[in-house]
């Protein structure tokens, strides 16, 4: 008898021999020739013994295999070259079972690596925790948001982000929580959602944490842009006839009353100043679409530094690797860097050891990061909440659109501009090109 190339003959032969011996013994006993039963009893016993022995050996091998699998040890292999065909058949079958399990395990590991890669590529922080707060898994974005090198328990966030820690503990399936934190780098806005799963008979919560600062900033800037376009359009429509009419009256070619002439000159001058003021605001809504091309980062930063540096304020530029390139609109990005350097120069003007450092690196996510750091005083909390708000300024002659325009330019490059450090002697604005 054959099946998949494996011989079942020896086992069948033993069974047939046992049946024949048993039938012969029964026939002798039935005929009354008991003395002849002595010939068949040993044969029956031998057949039963051999079958029981083979059964026991099979059970031991199967038990050994299951114990090894239970201990996650799949290095075993049974000999498939034994002389006895039935042992060879069993060993071959057990080895085949092991190979099926190994393939299934490899497929599971591949799927796990695939899902892990998806988690790491996600722009949303993902944290898996149990009811006690222990962290089973946290992706790179979650670690970045919470500023941790690794995360084993949600209490690790309590010192730097107490509100976020409380939200991680309290959030449950279907809830959406918004958290606002004040950190050294300024205000951070987080959105948290939660789902529950059962894994290895344990209930786990999968918490998605999103840093919505960029989204809020983009929404805010778009709203301000629309409002500014409407207001400047209406103001210009109203100013244009006033300016034109006052100029016409002033140049009629005939003498005017002194008071009338002065009034018309005042109206004309005021309308021109208002026009110039509105044109400044119009710049906020007239940012051209970036014309991107490969740009050498070191050259761009050094040229911007040369425009801003003074004998009193030194600017150092450090770019690693030195040949770093960024795919961007050089003119627009230079405008951002120059604006940040000018702000930094004003911030350190009163410092006897005034210093500005510009540092460019490639971060862990293969993004280009440019840090502009000065050693001035920390920006007050009341100011950091609004520094990127259009038309907000603390300068007497400022328009309040410099940082807003800079952030908008970075958003048009699919990047971001943030205040990433805000302490005395270390204030850092970071440009990130993704």
Closest to 374 measured CA to CA, from 401, 403, 353, 405: 353
**Predicted pLDDT at 229:** 65
Cα angle 202-203-209, degrees, rounded to a multiple of 5: 130
Percent of the chain with pLDDT over 90: 14
Quick check: 46 and 52 in contact, CB under 8 A?
A: no
**Predicted pLDDT at 297:** 94
**Predicted pLDDT at 356:** 92
208 to each of 116, 119, 138, 151, 218, how far by Cα in Å? 15, 11, 10, 15, 21
Percent of the chain with pLDDT over 70: 72
CA distance 42 to 417: 94
Highest-pLDDT range among 8-17, 113-122, 222-231, 303-312: 303-312
Q: Is the peptide bond before 321 cis (omega within 30 degrees of 0)?
A: yes
311 to each of 270, 294, 339, 342, 374, how far by Cα in Å? 39, 32, 19, 14, 16
CA distance 355 to 397: 24
**Predicted pLDDT at 298:** 94
Highest-pLDDT range among 19-28, 67-76, 389-398: 67-76
> Which position has the token pair 């292999």?
77
Torsion of CA 170, 171, 175, 180, to 10 degrees: 90
Q: Per-residue pLDDT tens for 255-298? A: 767 777 777 778 877 777 777 766 666 665 567 788 999 999 99
Closest to 168 measured CA to CA, from 204, 192, 137: 192
- Whole-structure pTM value: 0.50
Does 245 score more than 50 pLDDT?
A: yes
Quick check: 278 and 236 in contact, CB under 8 A?
A: yes
Say if residue 62 is exposed, middle or buried (CB neighbours under 10 Å; 0-12, 13-18, 19+): middle
Helix (H) or strand (E) holding 195: strand 186-199
Give the residue with greater pLDDT, 81 vs 425: 425
Q: Per-residue pLDDT tens for 164-178? A: 888 998 898 888 888
384 CB contacts (<8 Å, ≥6 apart)? 186, 187, 419, 422
The beta strands (E) that lie in 200-313 are given as 202-211, 293-296
Give the residue with greater pLDDT, 33 vs 334: 334
Residue 100 is encoded by which pair of tokens? 């099926």
The mean pLDDT of the chain is: 78
Banded model confidence at residue 187, pLDDT cuts 50, 70, 90: low
Q: Per-residue pLDDT tens for 356-383? A: 999 999 987 788 999 999 998 888 877 7
Does 14 score more than 60 pLDDT?
A: no
Q: Per-residue pLDDT tens for 26-70? A: 665 566 555 555 655 565 566 666 666 766 777 888 888 888 888
140 CB contacts (<8 Å, ≥6 apart)? 120, 364, 365
**Predicted pLDDT at 56:** 76
**Predicted pLDDT at 24:** 60
Does 149 score more than 80 pLDDT?
A: yes
Lowest model confidence (mean pLDDT) among 6-15, 78-87, 222-231, 353-362:
6-15
Rounded to the nearest angstrom, the gap between the alpha carbon of residue 197 and the centroid of all alpha carbons in its chain is: 21
Q: Per-residue pLDDT tens for 401-431? A: 678 788 888 888 888 888 888 888 889 999 9
Rounded to the nearest angstrom, the gap between the alpha carbon of residue 82 and the centroid of all alpha carbons in its chain is: 56
CA distance 236 to 231: 8
Banded model confidence at residue 120, pLDDT cuts 50, 70, 90: confident
Banded model confidence at residue 5, pLDDT cuts 50, 70, 90: very low
Average pLDDT (161-165) is 87
Does 6 score more than 50 pLDDT?
A: no
Does 124 score more than 70 pLDDT?
A: yes
| Residue 362 bridge partners (DSSP) | 368
Give the residue with greater pLDDT, 324 vs 159: 324
- What are the b/e assignments for 254-275, b being 16+ CB within 10 Å? eeeeeeeeeebeebbeebeebe
CA distance 433 to 61: 60
**Predicted pLDDT at 2:** 41
Does 4 score more than 50 pLDDT?
A: no
Quick check: 47 and 17 in contact, CB under 8 A?
A: yes
CA distance 297 to 49: 85
**Helices (DSSP H) in 32-139: which residue ranges?**
37-70, 85-121
Give the residue with greater pLDDT, 293 vs 244: 293
Quick check: 44 and 22 in contact, CB under 8 A?
A: yes
């Amino acid at each position: 008898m054959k099946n998949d190339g494996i011989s079942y003959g020896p086992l069948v032969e033993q069974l047939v021999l046992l049946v024949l011996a048993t039938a012969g013994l029964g026939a002798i006993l039935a005929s009354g020739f008991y003395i002849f039963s002595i010939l068949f009893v040993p044969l029956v016993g031998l057949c039963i013994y051999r079958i029981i022995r083979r059964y026991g050996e099979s059970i031991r091998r199967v038990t050994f295999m299951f114990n090894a699998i239970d201990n996650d040890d799949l290095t075993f292999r049974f000999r498939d070259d034994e002389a006895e065909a039935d042992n060879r058949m069993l060993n071959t079958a057990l080895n085949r079972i092991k190979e099926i399990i190994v393939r299934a395990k490899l497929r599971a590991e591949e799927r796990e690596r695939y899902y892990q890669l998806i988690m790491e590529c996600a722009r949303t922080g993902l944290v898996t925790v149990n009811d006690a707060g222990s962290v089973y898994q946290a992706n790179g974005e979650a670690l970045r948001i919470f500023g941790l090198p690794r995360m084993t328990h949600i209490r690790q966030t309590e010192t730097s982000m107490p509100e976020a820690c409380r939200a991680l503990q309290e959030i449950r399936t279907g809830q959406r929580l918004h958290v606002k934190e004040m950190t050294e780098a300024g205000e951070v806005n987080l959105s948290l959602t939660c789902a529950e799963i059962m894994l290895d008979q344990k209930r786990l919560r999968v918490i998605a944490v999103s840093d919505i600062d960029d989204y809020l900033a983009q929404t805010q800037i778009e709203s301000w842009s629309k409002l500014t376009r409407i207001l400047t359009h209406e103001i210009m429509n109203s100013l244009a006839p006033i300016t034109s009419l006052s100029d016409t009256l002033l140049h009629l070619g005939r003498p005017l009353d002194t008071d009338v002439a002065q009034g018309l000159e005042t109206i004309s001058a005021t309308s021109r100043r208002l026009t110039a003021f509105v044109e400044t605001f119009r710049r906020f809504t007239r940012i051209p679409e970036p014309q991107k091309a490969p740009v050498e980062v070191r050259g761009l930063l050094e040229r911007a530094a040369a425009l801003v540096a003074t004998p009193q304020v030194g600017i150092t530029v450090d770019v690693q690797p030195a040949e770093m390139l960024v795919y961007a609109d050089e003119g627009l990005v230079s405008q951002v860097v120059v604006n940040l350097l000018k702000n930094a120069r004003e911030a350190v003007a009163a410092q006897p050891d005034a210093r500005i450092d510009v540092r460019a690196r490639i971060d862990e996510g293969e993004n280009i990061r440019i840090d502009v750091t000065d050693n001035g005083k920390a920006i007050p909390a009341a100011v950091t909440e609004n520094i990127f708000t259009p038309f907000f300024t603390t300068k007497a002659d400022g328009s309040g659109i410099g940082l807003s325009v800079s952030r908008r330019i970075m958003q048009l490059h699919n990047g971001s501009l943030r205040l990433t450090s805000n302490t005395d002697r270390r204030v850092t604005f970071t440009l990130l090109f993704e």
